Chains A and B, each alone.
Chain A
Amino acid sequence: MLGYAEKIKEIAKGLLKDEKVEMIIGFREGSDPMKKEPCLIKNPEDVESLVWDSTCCMNLANYLTNRTEKIGVLAKGCDSRNINTHIIENKIGREQLYIIGVPCTGMIDRIKVAGKIVEEVIEVTDNGEHVVIKGAKQEETVERRELLQENCRTCTHRNPVIYDELVADPVEEQKDVSKYEDVERIEAMSGEERWQYFDELLSPCIRCYACRNACPLCYCPECFVDESRPQWVGKSNDSTDTKVFHLLRAFHCAGRCTDCGSCEQACPMDIKVRMLTKKLNKDCFDMYGWETGLTPDQRPPLDTFKPDDKEDFIK
C-alpha cells in the first residue's frame, strides 16, 4: 500500500477538475501517529492533503449514508462491501458514486502497536514488510503481519469488490485462513462460562456508542437505545442494559456486517466488540453460505426469503 497516496491524489484531482464528482471522501493526516482523519474535499487544490497508509482503518462507507451529492470515495475491500450493502439498503445510489478502489494489505492495530514499546508511541513507519515503532528513546521493528488488526489478519476480501477504478493492481487474497477460531473457542464454552465471558468482555463499556457510530450499518434515524416510547433499554451504565445494547446491536447487524473492525478501533475502552458480530457472521455463513456485500444486488439473508433456504437449523 506504499505509494498509493500519489495515485489517489492524481485520481481525485482529475475527478474534481473534470467535475465528475462534487467531492472526494478520503483521509488526511492527523495529529496521532496511529490515526488518520476522514475528510471531505471539494477543491482540486486541496487533494494534496489526501493520504493513505495502514492506519486508514475507519470505514468510509459510514460517511456516505443518505448523501445526495455525486461523490468520489476511497474504498478498501471491507468499505466496498459496505458500499454494496448501502446500495442494497437504499442509503446511497450506485450512480452517485465514483468508487476509487484501494487494494488493501490490512490495517495495523493501534493497541497491538502500543503494546510493542513501553514508551508512548510517537512515530509509526510502515515499510511494507516491517513496521518501525518509535517512542522518545525506544525503537522497535516488528513484522507487519504481527500488528494487523484481528479482522484484517483473517480477511479474505482485501480487494474492493465494486469499484470504478483501482489505485493499484489487486493484491493477493489470503487463502486457507481460519477465520473463526476465536468464535469456536467461545462456542465450546458452557453456557455459564460464556455468560461470564460476555460479562467480562462488556464490563468496561461506558455507553459512549463509539462502536455504533463508527459502524456503517448503524444508520437508524433513531437507535433503539435512544427511543423513549417505548423505552426498550435503560440508559444507565447498569450492566444488563449495557449487554442488551451490545447484543441487540450485534443481532441488528447479522448478515450485514463485513467485519471491517471500525467498531473495535473506535472503542475508547479497547473492548473486543467484534466477538459478538463475528459469531453472527459465522452463523450467516454456516446457515446460508452468505458473505456480506459481495454484490450490489443480493439482499442479505435475514431480510429475504428463498424457497430453497436451508431449514435444518430450525428446531
Chain B
Amino acid sequence: MKVIKIDQKDWDEGLGKLYDEFRLFGPVKNGDIHQFQPLTKGELPDLNFSNTRLSVKSAVYPQSQVMFEYNLDEKQEGHHIMKPASFDYPARALLGVRPCDAAGFLIAKKNFDNPDYRDPYWCESYEKTTLVGLACDSPSTNCFCTSVELGPYSEQGLDVLLVAVDGGFQAKVITEKGEALVTKAGWDKNGDEKVIEHQREKAEKRVNSAIETDKLAEKSSKDLFDAPFWEDMAFACLNCGTCTYSCPTCWCFDIQDENQEDQGIRMRNWDSCMSPLFTLEGSGHNPRPLKFHRVRQRFMHKLKYYLDKYEDGIMCVGCGRCINLCPVNIDIRKISSKMNNYQP
C-alpha cells in the first residue's frame, strides 16, 4: 500500500483521463439530495456531502435488472426458451464512496459470491468496479460505524481511500485495482501517511453514536425470537421499504416476468422483508402474516442470524440511513440494545 497526494488541479485532470477508461459514478446534487449517478465527460463529482441519500449499492446491484429474455412466438426459433440477457459491464469507478457503504459490498458479497453460489450479475459488476472512497470527517449524529468494527477512515472494501485536505487529497492506494486507477489518472506524487493518521484519529472521535451488540452472540435465537418486546417495537412501523431499499447491506430480490406481446423478460427487482408479499406462498399461506413478524425478521436477520451464520459481526455498517429515513423513527440502535440486554 502506498500513500499519494492529489492536488485539486491533478484531481480534475486525472478524472478527465479516467473518463476514457472507466465509466465514472459519483455523488451529484439534485435538489437537496446527493445521489450516485453516472458522470458525464468533464462533470466532477460533488464531494461536499455528508452521505448520499441512498447507498451506492445500486451501482453494482441495480433496483431492477433483466436476467433473461424470451419470445413466445411459436413461429420463431428458440421460442419459449429463456436466454441469458446480454450484460456487458464496462470497467467502472465509483468516486467518493463513504467507507460504510464500501464495507456494505463486502457483506453483500457473502450472499452473492460464496462457495455454494455465485451470482453472475452481481459478481461481474462488482469485479469490474473500482471503489474510490472518501474518508468521512464529519460523521452525522446517527452514524455508528465505529461500533461495527469499521470507522470513518475504514479501508474495508475500498481500492483507494481519499482523504480531503486543503488544496486536494491525501490518498491511500489499497489494492491492485486502486493502483491501476491512480496510474491511469497520473496521480503519482508522494503523500504523507501521518496527515491521514492525524485526521483519522480526529474523525473517529467525532463518531458519537454506537450500537450495542456485544452480548448478541451468546443469546439464544429462540429466546430473542420469543421476546415480548417485538410488538411494541414494531407498532409504529408502516411496513414500507424505506429501510431495506436505503440499506447498503440489504440484498433481497424478487423475480418477475414481464411480457409485451410475444416478447418477454425475466427480471429481478429489489424486494423488502417489510412487505407481506415477500413471504406469501403460492398456497396462500403466509408464514409472516403480521407486521411484528416482519419487523422481527428484519432485525433478527441483521443482528442475530447473520451474526451466527458468518461469525463476522452484524449485517450493518452503521451508516444510519434506516434511522434517518424511517418515517416513524424506528431505530436499529434501540432495538439492538433491547436484544443485547434481553434476559428471558
Q: Could you tell me if B63 and A206 are in contact, using CB atoms closer than 8 angstroms?
A: yes
Chain B residues within 8 Å of A62, by CB? 238
Q: Interface with A: B115-123, B151-159, B306-314, B321-329, which one?
A: B321-329
Please determine whether B64 and A120 come into contact, CB atoms closer than 8 angstroms.
no
Majority-rule SS of B interface residues: loop
**Residue B249, interface by CB 8 Å:** no
Residues of B within 8 A of A122 (CB): 141
CB of A38 within 8 A of CB of B235, answer yes
**Contact A209 B142, CB 8 Å, known A32-B323, A37-B236, A265-B327:** no
Q: Which residue of B lies closest to A225 (CB)?
A: B277
Which A residues are in CB contact (< 8 Å) with B279?
Answer: none
Given contacts A31-B334, A235-B256, contact A208 B140 (CB under 8 A): no
Say yes or no: A31-B331 contact (C-beta < 8 A), given A213-B238, A235-B256, A237-B269.
yes
List B residues 226-259 near A (Cβ within 8 Å). 232, 235-236, 238-242, 245-246, 254, 256, 258
Binds A, one of B26-34, B78-86, B172-180, B196-204: B26-34
Chain B residues within an 8 Å CB radius of A206: 54, 63, 241, 245
Instruction: Give the bracket for the number of chain A residues in contact with chain B.
Output: 35 or more
Residue in A40, A208, A213 with the greatest tally of chain B CB atoms within 10 Å: A208
CB <8 Å contact, A120 and B141 = yes
> Which residues 32-47 in B have Cβ within 8 Å of A in the complex?
32-33, 35
Complex Cα–Cα for A37 and B254 (A): 30
Min CB–CB distance A217 → chain B (angstroms): 13
Complex contacts, A58 vs chain B, CB 8 Å: 236, 327-328
Which residues of B43-84 are within 8 A (CB) of A?
50, 53-54, 63-64
Instruction: Determine whether B301 belongs to the interface, using a CB cutoff of 8 Å to chain A.
Output: no
* Minimal beta-carbon separation of B220 from chain A (angstroms): 27
A 234-247 binary contact with B (CB < 8 Å = 1; else 0): 11111000000000
**B164 CB-CB contact with A under 8 Å:** no
Is A70 engaged at the interface, CB distance under 8 Å to the other chain?
Answer: no
Q: Would you call the interface of chain A mostly helix, strand, loop, or mixed? A: loop
Closest approach, in angstroms, between the C-beta of B69 and any C-beta of chain A?
Answer: 14
Interface assignment of A36: CB less than 8 Å from any CB of chain B:
yes
Q: Which of A39, A210, A262 has the largest number of chain B CB atoms within 10 A? A: A210
Pick out which of these stretches binds chain B: A152-160, A266-274, A286-294: A266-274
Determine if B330 is an interface residue (Cβ-Cβ < 8 Å): yes
Name the contact of A35 in the complex, choosing from B35, B267, B327 (C-beta under 8 A): B327
* Cross-chain contact A210 with B238 (CB below 8 angstroms): yes
- Closest approach, in angstroms, between the C-beta of B320 and any C-beta of chain A? 10
Checking A111, A214, A238 against B327 with a beta-carbon cut-off of 8 angstroms, the contacting residue is A214
A sample of 22 cross-chain residue pairs with beta-carbon separation below 8 angstroms, ordered by A number, consists of: A31-B323, A31-B331, A31-B333, A32-B329, A35-B326, A36-B329, A37-B329, A39-B232, A40-B235, A58-B236, A58-B327, A58-B328, A204-B33, A206-B245, A210-B238, A210-B241, A210-B327, A212-B240, A226-B277, A236-B256, A237-B269, A268-B242
Query: Contact residues of A with B, CB < 8 Å?
Result: 30-32, 35-40, 58, 62-63, 111, 114-115, 120, 122, 204, 206-210, 212-214, 226, 234-238, 262, 265-270
Among all A-B residue pairs, the 10 with the closest Cβ atoms: A30-B329, A236-B64, A266-B327, A210-B240, A208-B241, A213-B238, A35-B329, A268-B325, A38-B236, A213-B240
- Taking Cβ atoms with an 8 Å cutoff, the residues of B that contact A are 30-33, 35, 50, 53-54, 63-64, 140-142, 232, 235-236, 238-242, 245-246, 254, 256, 258, 267, 269, 272, 275, 277, 323-331, 333-334
